[in-house]
Amino acid sequence: MNRSGPVKLIGLIAGIALSNIAVLSPGLLGLQIVGGSTLETASGVTLLFTSLLVVLYGSYTLLFKTPATPSVRNLETRDDYIAGLSRYRNVKALQKDVLLALEQLERIDKKKSTLMNILGERFEPTELSFRKFQTVIVEVEKLLYLNVRGILNKLSVFDASEFNLFTSRQRPKPFSDTLVQRKNELYNEYFAHVTGYLGANEEILLKLDQLLLEISLLDNTDYRAVDEMPCMKELNALIGQTKLYQN
């Protein structure tokens, strides 16, 4: 059931009711179903019948129809990723991981903003050093989102009901211990992938903290000094490895 459905349905019914009142009320348009012309009667009956169909279809769509799940391939904006993760917030087995992933998206946004503000104070936007830092920050942010995409790929195929069935203490007796063990091993492997993505994102966030510290301690604004910064080397290596893997 769509949680926001009842509220939307009430709004739909209210809108239809107000429209019918406006059309049928003698003080307004005054369309008469009884006692009016043949055209008015037909129009009034059609209006009421159409209103009933709209309410019935709206009730089904808003209350019972399962919303289509957007493809992970179609995720583009930060809000898309947040919406994608939020669909799993109430799945008990995934809740902690999902909340951490959402928190990581919030933290990367804050760190990026802080870094860009510091760069704006230290360099002119036209300077090569500024552009080098900016490029690395943007590329590293893409890596974090790439890991979140990986998490969403895993979540999209996770069957919470089946997981609960095999992990419940009251699981059906026909399941052999061997089958249950194999299923649990599969789920553990599944969760390990998700944990791996989350761990990789924590590494990225840590490196951005290190980068912020190194920028604050940077005495020389020469672009050659930027290239020799330990954290910049690490981030460039990480970006290069990821691009190589994708190719």
Does residue 82 share a domain with residue 194? yes
The pLDDT assigned to 98 comes to: 93
What pLDDT is recorded for position 123? 87
Q: What is the DSSP letter of 169?
A: T
- Give me the pLDDT at residue 140, please: 94
What is residue 74's predicted lDDT score, i.e. its pLDDT?
74
Give 1-7's long-range contacts (Cβ < 8 A, gap of 24+).
Answer: 1/63, 1/64, 2/62, 2/63, 2/65, 2/67, 4/62, 5/62, 5/63, 6/62, 6/63
| Same domain (yes/no): 81, 175 | yes
Cα Rg of the chain (Å, integer): 28
Residue 143: give the domain boundaries: 72-246
For the chain, 247 residues long, the average pLDDT of each consecutive 10-residue run is: 64 76 62 62 69 75 55 80 89 88 96 93 89 93 94 81 61 66 79 92 95 83 75 87 62
Give the per-residue pLDDT at 67: 46
> Of 64, 90, 113, which residue is a domain's last?
64
pLDDT of residue 189: 84
Do 122 and 240 lie in one domain? The reply is yes
Number of domains in the chain: 2
**pLDDT at site 54:** 77
127 and 29 belong to one structural domain? no
Residues 138 and 183 in one domain: yes
Q: Which of 64, 95, 113 is the last residue of a domain?
A: 64
Both 152 and 122 in a single domain? Answer: yes
138 and 57 assigned to the same domain: no
pLDDT at 241: 80
Terminal CA-CA length for the chain: 42
Its pTM surpasses 0.85: no
The CA distance from 207 to 213, in Å, is 10
